[in-house]
Structures are given as structure tokens and as C-alpha cells.
Chains A and B, each alone.
Chain A
């Protein structure tokens, strides 16, 4: 059982937009703007896509965007492309006791 709750799977057609939710609590997502998102292709290491809720690292497509409302963070991918098919994980700082929590991951299928 993961600390952050994500849907197990989402899907969309090329060109469409999808949103992946990440629900935490007032002790993690709701209290800190240290939510990040990672993309992982099969057999590969994770890749940072979004940090500090909504910021994109250099080199990450602007089709990827992040937001947060209350205890729920979201990752939106617009203009879906075949190469976006991957697993996506959210992550949040959770205070000096628990420190870091991940979501269970969401498998994105591009139809």
C-alpha cells in the first residue's frame, strides 16, 4: 500500500490530453510544494519530468505540466505521443519523520 494514491492505469489516443492524479494527505502533498513526477519506460531508470509541483527540468517537453489543489497533485500530458507510453510516479516530501513518499505508479497506454 503506497502512501500516495494514483490510478493504476490511464489511456488516451495520440493528440489527446490525459491527467494523472496523485492524492496524498495534509501531511505530505497538502503541506509542501515539493511534489515531483517521474516517467519510467520498461527496463529503464526513472526520469524527472516535473519538480516543485509545476516546474519542468530543462529538456522536458512543455506538453508535460503539473499542478496541485489541496491534497491532490496532477500531471497533465497534452498532445499525447506514442513515446509517452510509460509508467508515471508522483513523489512528495512528507516532513522530517516520514521524509519521502511515492505513489504506486500509473501505467499510461497510448492507444
Chain B
């Protein structure tokens, strides 16, 4: 079964850091691009960051550029999101999503998400 399981969310104070992880199973992880997409409570979807199959192409939303870093470990079938200098507006459910191809196409498999709450 194709599955993505996020972890690492929680309550964190503004200005602090958090690292999210996404464990993939059921498919050949290093064949596909991977993404993080977030959804603030009661709001729509916002793409956060994406990484190609070999980490050769990486992109970030303007809202997180310079603060968040995406990475992947193909040997461990894992995707990561290092989030620094967190702000209240980063509060959201963070989804890990698999792309259909090695580069950006569409997000065909989603995890259930991990909640990040930034508050003092």
C-alpha cells in the first residue's frame, strides 16, 4: 500500500524551529518528486516547498523562502522540512505529498498531515 506518514508537528513558540518528517512506503521513493503543502485552520491549500527526485531542483513559496529548508534521504525513503524562525502565520496542518513524476506534475498521494501551532 502506498503510504505517507508525517511526524514532527507540535506547539512551538514564535522564532523557534521545528523539523517535520515524512516516511514513505509502498513505492520507489527515489523515482518521484515530493512536496510539502499546508492548510491553515479553515483556510485553503498553500504549496510550501518541493524537491525533485534527485534533489537537483528545489522550490519554495515566497512566504517561507529563507526560513524553511526541504530535503530528502532516498536511502531512508524520507522527506524533511526544517522550519526556522517560525511565525504565527505558519500555523497549519502540513501535508507531505508525492508527485506523479520525478519533476513537478501533480500531487497524487497525500499523507494525513501533521499539525504545527506557532504560539507563545
- A positions within 8 Å CB-CB of B: 2, 34, 36, 38, 40, 45-48, 51-52, 57, 87, 89, 91, 93, 96, 98-105
Contact = CB atoms under 8 A, between A and B. Distances in A.
Tell me which of A47, A89, A99 has the highest count of chain B C-beta atoms within 10 A of its own C-beta: A99
Contact of A52 (B35, B45, B95, B105): B105
Interface of B: 35, 37, 44-47, 50, 59-62, 95, 100, 104-108, 110-113
Contacts of B104: 34, 93, 99-100
Give the interface SS of chain A, mostly helix, strand, loop or mixed. Answer: strand
A99 B60 CA distance: 7
Contacts of A102: 37, 44-47
B50 A99 contact: yes
Given A45-B112, A45-B113, A46-B95, A103 B44 contact: yes
Contacts of B110: 45-47
A51 B46 contact: no
Contacts of B100: 51
A48 B45 contact: no
